[in-house]
Amino acid sequence: MFIAIVTDVSDNVATVLDNIKNGDIIILHGAIKGELKAIDDIPKGHKVALFDIPKGEHVIKYGEIIGIAIKEIKKGQHVHIHNLDSLRGKPL
């Protein structure tokens, strides 16, 4: 069993607590419960998309906008610098 933590009901990503392989089923704990199937390998501590996120939409974690999707992100996909323009260190 692989676990991901969702910290706020408005989040569209969760943090995985294990190394995930494409096809693994991830159990969601926290503010949103359920499960989803990984469609990418995802390293421990990285983010997985809870829903489809269109290009240009906000990526939300901890109930806060953490970045913008720079390409379409599918449910179960790894969310990181290859598909996310992070707001970290940028003025709001």
Q: C-alpha angle with apex 86: 70 to 62, nearest 5 degrees?
A: 110
Contact 61/13 with Cβ under 8 angstroms? yes
Instruction: Give the end-to-end CA distance of the chain in Å, rounded to a whole number.
Output: 38
Residue 92: the pLDDT is: 60
Torsion sign across C-alpha atoms 79, 80, 81, 87: positive
Rounded Cα–Cα distance for residues 24 and 41 (Å):
9
Report phi then psi at 68, rounded to 5. Answer: -125, 135
pTM (predicted TM-score):
0.93
Q: Does domain 2-86 have CATH number 3.40.50.300?
A: no
pLDDT tens, 17-59? 999 999 999 999 999 999 999 999 999 999 999 999 999 999 9
Domain boundaries, the chain: 2-86
pLDDT tens, 64-88? 999 999 999 999 999 999 999 998 7
Residue 1: the pLDDT is: 81
